[in-house]
Amino acid sequence: MALRRSVTLEDVARRAGVSRTTASYILNGHSAQMRISPDTEARVRGAATDLDYRPNRSARSLRTRRTATVGLISDQIAGEQYGSSMLTGASIAARELDHLVVMGESGGDPELERLLIEEMVDRHVDGVVYATRTARTIRLPAGLRGVRAVLLNCEDPTAQVACVLPDDEGGGRLAAAELVAAGLVHVWVLGVDPVPDATAGRRRMVGIRAELALAGIAVAGVVDCDWTVGEGFAATRDWLTRGGRAEGLICMNDRLAMGAYQALAEAGLRVPDDISVVSFDGSALASWLRPELTSVELPFPELGALAVRRLLDPDDHGGTDSVPLSVRAGGSVRRR
């Protein structure tokens, strides 16, 4: 059990020669409204310091119904390659606002999710961030209705919930712009949307098409496949076998790009001399490939931090935030 010797407000008050009431006001920063004398204030603060007073949070919570704690529930962000940095961002933002993060992972199991939400609500977290590993449309879990919540990396069009998303459409524009700037006009796209409710691929596609259109270019073709290294490899190899060629290839994530690299190498095609590659994620993997992969980075830490800040902001407007992506330049795009 996590014990410290138990110094109570009573102890502080006694040592300072005041009542608990006065000590409480002072220690909670209400000296001004209460017009506490400077002398009294100094005595109380001194006593608190001397005794190393730590307010009992359970007692406080019992009265105030707040716990200085936020819940963060997700399907699977901790086990994930870089999505887990949403957790890091959330944790840091929470601390800056004097809160701590209570986390739970459902692994996609609805019953476990229900349990976790229930436990968090039981513990009176001050709100819940509901996050998904992959950007998509969801239905707000029943247990979250009536609970202060922010959706992170997902959205429920049918619910009135604050929502923090990456700006995938803008990201799509950035990716296309890299190729346009290099003077490439023959562009293929690898990977669209793996599952029906996923949103990232579709939005990126919109941005890609829009940006290319500005340069008078249309997407030459799309190879659809799951967003994994193995699928990226197989799909690219098949495409090449069927005579597929392009000046530029936009991959929907870094893993797909890794697979594409492998298939291109096998076919004797060099990146970027024979074909330029751009992808999405900006994960560590992008920097590991040779040549380094130019990738449009998802702002995971910022997403996590923003979700927590909005959750704890009483004036939050409740709409949807789209956080911009940014290009992490590698050497996979041909220099003009």
Partner DNA sequence: CTGAAAGCGCTTACAG
The CB-of-17 to DNA minimum distance in angstroms stands at: 7
Task: List the one residue from 15, 24, 276, 304 that touches DNA (CB under 7 A).
Answer: 24
What is the rounded CA–CA span in Å between residue 164 and residue 300? 11
Smallest CA-to-CA distance from 178 within 276, 300, 324, 325 is with 276
The CB-of-68 to DNA minimum distance in angstroms stands at: 11
In this chain, which stretch among 150-158, 210-218, 251-259, 271-279 interacts with a second copy, using CB under 8 A? Answer: 251-259
Beta strands 326-328 and 294-297 are antiparallel
Give the DSSP H/E element, type plus range, for residue 295: strand 294-297
Q: Between 43 and 255, name the residue whose CB sits nearer to DNA.
A: 43
User: 3-class DSSP state for residue 236?
Assistant: helix
Smallest CA-to-CA distance from 301 within 286, 279, 323 is with 323
What is the rounded CA–CA span in Å between residue 176 and residue 211? 6
Quick check: 311 binds a second copy (CB under 8 A)? no
Contact 295, 137 (CB under 8 A): no
The CB-of-13 to DNA minimum distance in angstroms stands at: 7
What is the rounded CA–CA span in Å between residue 188 and residue 200? 17
Residue 27: HSE in the Cβ half-sphere, 13 Å Cα cutoff? 26
Task: List the one residue from 42, 59, 181, 218 that touches DNA (CB under 7 A).
Answer: 59
In this chain, which stretch among 31-39, 53-61, 175-183, 326-334 interacts with a second copy, using CB under 8 A? Answer: 53-61
The CB-of-281 to a second copy minimum distance in angstroms stands at: 13
Which letter does DSSP use for residue 299 in this model?
A: -
Site string for a second copy, 200-229 (x = CB under 8 A): -----------------------------x
Give the torsion through C-alpha atoms of 88, 89, 95, 96, to 10 deg: 150
Quick check: 212 binds DNA (CB under 7 A)? no
Binding to a second copy (CB under 8 A) within 143-162 occurs at 146-148
What is the rounded CA–CA span in Å between residue 186 and residue 99? 51
Quick check: 100 binds a second copy (CB under 8 A)? yes
Quick check: 282 binds a second copy (CB under 8 A)? no
Query: CA-based diameter of the chain, in Å?
Result: 88
- Which residues of this protein are in contact with a second copy, per CB under 8 A? 1-4, 54-59, 61-62, 65-69, 71, 76, 78-82, 84-85, 87-88, 91-92, 95, 98, 100-105, 107, 112, 115-116, 118-128, 146-148, 229-230, 233, 255, 258-259, 262, 284-285, 287-288, 290, 301
- Which residues of this protein are in contact with DNA, per CB under 7 A? 6-10, 17-22, 24-25, 27-28, 34-37, 39-40, 53-56, 59-60, 62-64
